[in-house]
Chain A
């Protein structure tokens, strides 16, 4: 039974990773690409790690899995914020669909 659950979570996680990669290709500008990377990427990798921990249910593996997930969830937004700030300040072009920019006004 646990094999089915773990296998489904594993494939789901790698599908989210694939979506993140497609998002990096298909999104119109840097900031929207970053949305796909931060959310779909960290959720996908988190699900893959969760599948591993679910199947083995061993304290050593569980602790490693928890630390990998914590590391991913801590570093992804920090990296995204720093890249977003740096790229915004180096005047990257925003997509034409952007209709509000309150940061620009001040």
Chain B
């Protein structure tokens, strides 16, 4: 069926607002693309609450390659400093070098401690210390896990450890583990802050999912502004169309942003989703629509052809 083989593209599915349908799009797009004769990887980058696997009950745990320890799970760690209070002279050099306020020091009462949540693992404090008082330990930030759903299709899930301040390193590891070949779908976390940036950073194309409501529009604008500064190609899917108002549509026209797909506000779609079922499995017409959208995105990426959009 595919005219082109060895397709290579990374597509991120993102939104500013939470709950607009990123997972709905990611999982259905992924499943649609598994019918191509290509390697397809879905990366669940929503490390604070990964849920893509709920839609693939048949997924089997699989091992990573040797770069990732060769096991089914890979622990994402970060080095944090450990300060030996018997060697520390409370000079304050490490605190001075730390850009993240991760060293707490009260010279007066000889108190020093590391605020691990603020540490970025840069190692500047170890470099600064003249008293040999700083060693490091590894701290677990989360795990990435690999699953296979078919001959050429796999899912990598990023899951942050509860209580860890930032999911970014875990997301980064998951995206990297997906490799550079084949089709990679990145299901982004909501928002437009660091976790979103990390997810879309390596993407060739970003699908922004929104809904036609004031909240949807407000957060869409923020996402678009962010992607503009990153020089990314992107398009928009309007989910739950038919509700709300038409301001999102006017915005897309005004900004000349391609509308990739519209999904109606439909009880049956919501019901399937809530049961962990894939829309494209139950309603084949959607499989065709997802495939068509993918082809548009791929040809735009490959040939810079945007004539068939909007």
Q: Do A and B bind each other?
A: no
